[in-house]
Structure 1
Amino acid sequence: MSTQHDAEIDALLGRYFDGLYHSDSSVLRTVFHTDLSYVNGTDGTYETMGLEDYMARIDARTPPASRNDPREEVVERIALKGDRIGIVEARMTMLGRNYQDLLTLINTDEGWRVLTKVFSFVERKD
């Protein structure tokens, strides 16, 4: 079932994947809420950080796009609860890893934003 928010959330996720692939913090700042909570739940590498620390990491990263790394993204599920909150389950391949993301969304005065990014990854075997 389509909602009035579909196009905006699709655009948000497009910016999310593009911003990560190009390591573009200016794009990602249009995706993430200023109160972002970033959580790496990968076994053995658990860590948390806020928006500014995460953007500094993005800025220091060599963009996967500059190496023509293979890129694959799949949005597995989007579930909204009313007009204000939702969750996205997605997966992507980048930096030699397969990532699983859980993104919570909040609809703000500036539009939909990712409030929490909880993810894990496994190294690719190919």
Structure 2
Amino acid sequence: MKSADELEVEALMERYFDGLYHSDSEVLRTVFHPKLAYINASEGNHEFMDIEAYMTRIDNREPPAKRGENRSESVDRVKLISRQMGLVEARMTMMGREYQDLLTLIHTDAGWQVLTKVFAYQEKEG
């Protein structure tokens, strides 16, 4: 049986994937900590943003859902290290790319939130 924390992280990841697929910054703000560190670790495309810059990017892009893109995502690993921190490894395919995410989690008064999003992507073949 899953613990309350595991169920909360599962719901967090559902909102994460939904928010990205629909480019919904309101939903994503329920996922991310206000001090989010967003780090693109893709070869040749390193970039660093805070939550406001990232939410502006989300608001300014056409949602994959609106383009009718197929949706593919998975949570490969969840490791809750303590009642206060954890790690999620996840994958998502959208916008012609395959993304691999490492998300560090912190437990706050608002519940579990993503504090850092470090990811890389590769262009999807075919």
Alignment TM class, shorter chain as reference: over 0.9
The amino acid of 1:118's aligned partner reads V
| Paired residue total | 126
| Aligned: 1:33 with 2:23 | no
| Cα displacement (A) at 1:6 | 1.2
Q: Residue 12 of structure 1 aligns with which residue?
A: 12
Question: Structure 1 length normalisation: TM-score?
Answer: 0.98
Following the alignment from structure 1 to structure 2, what is the Cα–Cα distance between the partners of residues 25 and 42? 23
- Cα distance per residue 1:52-79 (max 9 Å; x no partner): 0000000000000001101100100000
| Cα displacement (A) at 1:17 | 0.2
Q: What SS does structure 2 have at the residue aligned with 1:62? A: coil
Q: How does 1:1-126 map to 2 (within 5 A)?
A: 2-126=2-126
Q: What SS does structure 1 have at the residue aligned with 2:66? A: helix
- Percent of aligned positions that are identical: 58
| Poorly superposed stretches of 4+, deviation over 6 Å | none
Q: RMSD across aligned C-alpha pairs, in angstroms? A: 0.8
Q: Which runs of 5+ in 1 are unaligned?
A: none
Following the alignment from structure 2 to structure 1, what is the Cα–Cα distance between the partners of residues 25 and 2? 30
Q: What SS does structure 1 have at the residue aligned with 2:4? A: coil
Following the alignment from structure 2 to structure 1, what is the Cα–Cα distance between the partners of residues 101 and 58? 17
- Cα distance per residue 1:77-99 (max 9 Å; x no partner): 00011101000000110100000
Following the alignment from structure 1 to structure 2, what is the Cα–Cα distance between the partners of residues 44 and 18? 28
Question: Structure 2 length normalisation: TM-score?
Answer: 0.98
| Cα displacement (A) at 1:3 | 2.5
Q: What SS does structure 1 have at the residue aligned with 2:98? A: strand
| Cα displacement (A) at 1:7 | 1.1
Q: What SS does structure 1 have at the residue aligned with 2:87? A: strand
